[in-house]
Amino acid sequence: MSSFKKSKLFFPLVFILLLLLQNSCSVSEYGEASDYEKYGATATASATGSGTIFGAVLTSSGSVLSGVSVSYASGTSTYSTTTDSSGLFTQSSLATGTYTLSYSKSGYWNETQYATLETDGETIELLTLRMLSKSRCSSSTGDISGTITSALSSSATIEGATIKAYRGLWSKRSLEGCCPVVVKTATTPDNGTYTLSDMPTGHYTLLMSASGYISGNYWTVSCGDKTGRNKALSPTLPSNSMRIILSWEETSPVTGVDLDSHLTGPDNGSGRFHVYYDDNETYFYFTDTYTNCSGCSISEKLDNVTLNRDETGSSPAYAPPGIETFTISNVKSSGTYRYSVHDYSNGVTRGLTNSDNLSISGASVSVDYNDGSTTTSKTYGVPTNKIGTLWEVFTFTTSGGFVKEKNMSNEATPGNIQ
């Protein structure tokens, strides 16, 4: 009887001791606010959540690539999937954290990509990966070179810019929150040029920064020597202003030739402005000072929208790589801004309605917005496997922020873009 009473006392005592031991530990058994936890992983291999990461894989020439093995890893949690006949893949029920995605397919160089789920239920669409074939990229190393300029002018090269190269494809958010290894660094002289020599074949993320500019990351590849890997950095923004930068590289075959930026938004009356490059300057509200705008009305000048930069490599004319920049110096508190990219070459010059060249051009749009307290940065990649010459990229309101649009349609008349 006494033995039974002791047993009855023993189990509660053990339970209390276990609780005391647990509470006496630090915030984490991996250390206080450990890196393991900061990156969102949990101490279990079966951790799940409600996040989703999806994307697409193409060949370097823009064709869909099916049968690619894609594995996800974060902490001790791993998942795997395969690209379908359209080159698409997805993985859901993911916990928060930074994920390493590894891609492999026979005949192609293995690749890695990184994405960070910060909140449960978040969905991330990755920028499209173009895998490099071993037959096309037979060299083991190559040089990557280009020029860094101001987003406001192609002639304003940036001296003293720092370039850090990371292996694989990193989002800006993942770079800031995780732990990549810098493969190589470079600093630009007064002409803004840089060269990263003897880079092993594969994809790289270049993080570029300079005093007085907003840092930007740039995806590129080493596949033999790659020149013309140019980047435009946005000067820091004053309060209540926005800058939008469109860029596209030279591809083989060339798919993005003459791409145009279009911005519409609330004007100073009851209507909407439409700013883009037009030979007749019908809708071209261009001004650097907002006071010197030939042919513009007072109302147009007060829209505070500038097409700062609209040029391509120009050898031959309108050949990629290309960069276009919009600046909104005074974002209005009401009304919707809408930004689109138009494939002028195929939509107007050739009049095509079945072209997928814009979709496989590799065009990307970066946007920075200073609301007075923080600067929000977004990057958008052109949708893949789509027919169309008009890409509706995003809409923006001060109350709702940025909303990604993925609509692709055909448009032969630039003035009709809304």
Q: So what's the pLDDT on residue 254? A: 63
Q: Say which residues have a Cβ less than 8 Å from residue 199's Cβ, sequence separation at least 6.
A: 141, 142, 143, 144, 165, 183, 184, 222
Amino acid at site 280: N
Q: So what's the pLDDT on residue 15? A: 43
Report domain extents, the chain.
Answer: 48-131, 139-236, 237-418
pTM of the complete model beyond 0.85: no
Q: So what's the pLDDT on residue 243? A: 97
Q: So what's the pLDDT on residue 366? A: 95
Higher pLDDT, 37 or 299: 299
**How would you list the strands of the sheet with 69-74, edge to edge?**
77-82, 69-74, 97-104, 111-117, 169-170
Note the CATH architecture for domain 237-418: Sandwich (2.60)
DSSP state for residue 236 in the 8-state scheme: P
Cβ pair 100, 41 in contact under 8 A: no
Note the CATH architecture for domain 48-131: Sandwich (2.60)
Q: What is the CATH number of domain 139-236?
A: 2.60.40.1120
In degrees, rounded to 5, the angle at the alpha carbon of residue 348 between the alpha carbons of residues 367 and 353 is 95
Q: For residue range 38-94, list pLDDT tens digits in order.
A: 223 322 334 578 999 999 999 988 899 999 999 999 999 999 999 999 999 999 999
> Same CATH fold, 139-236 and 48-131?
yes
In the chain, the largest separation of any two C-alpha atoms, in whole Å, equals 104
Strands 162-167 and 153-157: unpaired
- pLDDT of 354 higher than 50: yes
Q: What percent of the chain has pLDDT over 90?
A: 56
Q: So what's the pLDDT on residue 255? A: 63
Q: For residue range 166-204, list pLDDT tens digits in order.
A: 999 998 778 877 778 999 999 999 999 999 999 999 999
Q: So what's the pLDDT on residue 278? A: 61
Beta bridge partners of 307: 326
